[in-house]
Amino acid sequence: MSKLTLDRMLQSQGFGSRKWCRQLVEDGEVTVNGEPADDYRLALDPDHLVFTVFGEEWIYRQHVYIALNKPVDIECSRKPSHHPGVLTLLPEQFTWREVQPVGRLDHDTTGLLLMSDDGAFIHAQSSPRRHVPKVYVATTHDPVTDELLERLRRGVQLHDEPAPLAAQRCARVSEHELEIVLEQGKYHQVKRMLAAAGNHCSALRRIAIGGLMLDALGLAPGQWCYLVPEQLALLAPAAP
Ligand code: URA
């Protein structure tokens, strides 16, 4: 990877404008690979670069890939209106880096949410052609019946969709809970499908995307982690 000056490197990692990053260096707030750094023109090889700002350690990352266990009452929209936005759960550097959610969960839906500042990754993951299964557990108002599961598997017509939408799989988990797997990510899809099938979704949790399982990440609600390449590989669509 080509070299970066210290001020540009800090800016790329979300520490503010170039001017602000230069000031941080001049104020002695930055170390690089364990050494104090006082010259913002210092040329750095960003590979394996470890630095601190205000004593906090960071590793240089060209892009960040994040999994968050989204709690209730957090909005994924760019301009949240009724609840705090999802970026309030992440370090503020990620807002500067323009980290965004990959797709959206409703404010009252919990569970696995991917976030990144890599536009190509966001685009690829969000593409309807990609067919990455998303696994949800829905709590229902009325008991989960065989007929309900069958209707969801066969497909239900939503009023603004040209064709019925079907669950790739669905199964009863308990009297009032079902697991449903969808390949699409239409607006309020699970809730609308359950309503169209004659029940009501009272709570919804996303437990997996592709082979990436929320439980395996060990994140409490509101916690997040970086995803490593082996975990990103689990997001690939299943082989046909
Ligand atoms: N389906 C919904 O209805 N809501 C979500 O947040 C995700 C899928």
In the three-class reduction of DSSP (H, G, I as helix; E, B as strand; rest coil), residue 222 is classed as coil
Average pLDDT over residues 72-83: 91
Q: Report the Cα 144 to chain-centroid distance in Å.
A: 29
Which residue lies with its CA nearest to atom 2 of ligand 1? 188
Q: 107 and 72 in contact (C-beta within 8 Å)?
A: yes
Residue 205: which of 216, 217, 215 has the closest Cα?
215
191 lines ligand 1 (CB under 6 A): yes
Measured CA angle at 136 (ends 134, 137), to 5 deg: 165
User: Ligand 1 centre and the CA of 12: distance in Å?
Assistant: 33
In this prediction, residue 237 carries a pLDDT of 66
Stretch 67-79: mean pLDDT: 94
Catalytic site includes residue 73: no
From the candidates 7, 38, 106, 215, give the one annotated as an active-site residue: 106
Q: Quickly state the pLDDT bin for 217 (edges 50, 70, 90).
A: very high
pLDDT in tens, 106-157: 999 999 999 999 999 999 888 877 888 999 999 999 999 999 999 999 999 9
Whose tokens are 């017509």? That residue is: 157
DSSP calls for 5-53: EHHHHHHHTTS--HHHHHHHHHTT-EEETTEE---TT-EE--TT-EEEE
167-205 b/e with 16+ CB inside 10 Å = b? beebebeeebebbbebbebeeebbbbbbebbebebeebb
Q: What is the rounded average pLDDT for all residues in the chain?
A: 94
Report whether residue 158 contacts ligand 1, using a CB cutoff of 6 Å: no
- Relative to the CA of 201, which ligand 1 atom is closest? 3
Cα gap 110→72, rounded to integer Å: 6
Q: 58 near 21, Cβ under 8 Å? A: no
Token pair belonging to 92: 């503020």
At residue 240, the pLDDT reads 52
Residue 106 Cα: closest atom of ligand 1: 6
**Which of the listed residues 156, 189, 206, 209 should we mutate to test ligand 1's pocket, taking the one with most ligand atoms within 8 A of CB?**
189
Q: Whose CA is nearest to atom 4 of ligand 1?
A: 188
| CB 189 near ligand 1, within 6 Å | yes
Domains and CATH numbers, the chain: 4-59 (3.10.290.10), 65-128+212-233 (3.30.70.580), 133-209 (3.30.70.1560)
Among residues 115, 112, 111, the alpha carbon closest in space to that of 65 is found at: 115
Strands 109-116 and 201-209, sheet pairing: parallel
CA 41 to centroid of ligand 1, rounded, Å: 48
